[in-house]
Amino acid sequence: MDLERLKDIPLFLVRDQPFMSTFLLVLGALSVARIVYQTLSVLLQIFVLPGKNVKQFGANRGAWAVVTGASDGIGKEFAFQLAKAGFNVLLVARNKVLLQATASDIAKKYPGVSTETHSIDFAKGDEAAYQGLAMVLNDRDIGVLVNNVGKSHAMPAYLVDTPKEEMIDIVAINVNATLRVTYAVLPGMVERKRGLILNIGSFAGGLPSPMLATYSGTKAFLATFTSALAEEVKSHNIIVEHVNTYFVVSKLSKIRKSSALIPQPGPYVRSVLSKIGLACGAGYSGRPGTSTPYWSHALLDYAMTLIGLPSVFISYTHGLHKSIRKRALKKQEREAKRQ
Positions touching ligand NAP (CB under 6 A) are: 69-75, 93-95, 98, 120-123, 148-151, 173, 200, 202, 245, 247-248, 250-253
Q: Which is nearer to ligand NAP, 194 or 301 (CB)?
A: 301
Q: Which is nearer to ligand NAP, 88 or 174 (CB)?
A: 174
List 110, 130, 215, 246, catalytic entry: 215
Please answer whether residues 247 and 253 qualify as being in contact, where contact means their C-beta atoms are separated by less than 8 angstroms.
Answer: yes
CB of 34 to ligand NAP, least distance (A): 30
**DSSP codes of every residue in 225-241:** HHHHHHHHHGGGTEEEE
215 annotated active-site? yes
41 among annotated binding-site residues? no
Closest residue to ligand NAP, judged by C-beta, is 150
CB of 207 to ligand NAP, least distance (A): 12
Output the CA–CA distances (angstroms, integers) from residue 247 to 9, 133, 184, in the order listed: 49, 30, 30
Q: Which is nearer to ligand NAP, 194 or 222 (CB)?
A: 222
Q: Which is nearer to ligand NAP, 49 or 252 (CB)?
A: 252
Sheet hosting strand 142-147, strand order edge to edge: 115-119, 88-93, 64-68, 142-147, 195-200, 238-243, 290-291
Measured at the CA of 181, the angle between CA 180 and CA 182, to 5 degrees, comes to 90
Please state, in angstroms and rounded to a whole number, the distance separating the CA atoms of residues 92 and 182: 13
CB of 67 to ligand NAP, least distance (A): 9
Burial code (b: 16+ CB inside 10 Å, e: under 16) for 73-98 equals bbbbbbbbbbbebbbbbbbbbeeeeb
CB of 172 to ligand NAP, least distance (A): 8
The annotation places the binding site for substrate at: 202
Annotated binding site: 202
What positions carry a catalytic annotation? 215
